[in-house]
Amino acid sequence: MHLHLLPGGRFEMGSSAAERALLRERGWGGDVPETPTAVVTVAPFLIARFPITEGVWSRAGGEELHWTLGEDHPIDAVSRAQLREWTARLGLRLPSEAEWEYACRAGSRTIFYWGDAPDPSYAWMKESAPAGDDYTNYPEHLHADRANAFGLVDMIGGLAEWVEDDCGAYPPTAEPFRDSSPSPDGVQRGGCFMYGWNLTR
């Protein structure tokens, strides 16, 4: 597993007025509840360069997977509780939602971290994945040459990614990391290969 140490910084979390206007113009505004925005300070933190693969999960003592497609495929059908336990054994943790968005945006203020237009060379989405009824055509790490400015790959599309936070509105004074309550309602970010571009956030 390749970990990147990201520098700390301040960023505007959520969709700005300009982003929301562009999203509405494209007919996506109703599906993007990323308001209100909040200026958040993020301390330096470690994050994996790639999504966790089946091979990494297995070699690091992860539970037997019920859905497998090969060592180079990202893990699927793993609960937030399982991921918390697995990362804790490695001395790590899931990123907070603020940390995840900071990592994904990598300093960008566009709809996607590469720009404002969908681009299947960066992300594997419903429109680009010939999945079929059995959804067996999962993406491998096909976008290694399409990293964001932090060097992170496949932050959008492929499979949605768990974060530490529970589902709920972010207050304007949100800290960059919050211990979540025992609520089972977690948050996933980034969209997945079964979603359209409007949900790849």
Which residues, 6 or more positions from 189, have their beta carbon under 8 angstroms from its beta carbon? 97, 100, 101, 104, 160, 161, 163, 201
The single-letter DSSP state of residue 85 is: H
Q: Residue 78: CA atoms inside 13 Å, Cβ hemisphere, count? A: 25
Q: What whole-number distance in Å separates Cα of residue 163 and Cα of residue 46? A: 14
Give per-residue pLDDT as tens, 4-41: 999 999 999 888 778 878 878 877 765 555 767 788 99
Q: What whole-number distance in Å separates Cα of residue 185 and Cα of residue 109? A: 28
Tell me the whole-structure pTM to 2 decimals: 0.86
State the Rg of the chain over Cα. Answer: 16
Q: Are 199 and 158 in contact (CB under 8 A)?
A: no
* Secondary structure class of 98 (helix, strand, coil): helix
CATH 3.90.1580.10 holds for 1-201: yes
Give per-residue pLDDT as tens, 83-131: 999 999 999 999 999 999 999 999 998 889 999 888 888 888 877 656 5
Overall average pLDDT of the 124-152 stretch: 70
Q: Are 43 and 8 in contact (CB under 8 A)?
A: yes
164-194 burial, b at 16+ Cβ within 10 Å, e below that, comes to: bbbeeebeeebebbeebeeeeebbebbbbbe
The C-alpha angle 161, 166, 167, rounded to 5 degrees, equals 85
Q: What whole-number distance in Å separates Cα of residue 201 and Cα of residue 189? A: 6
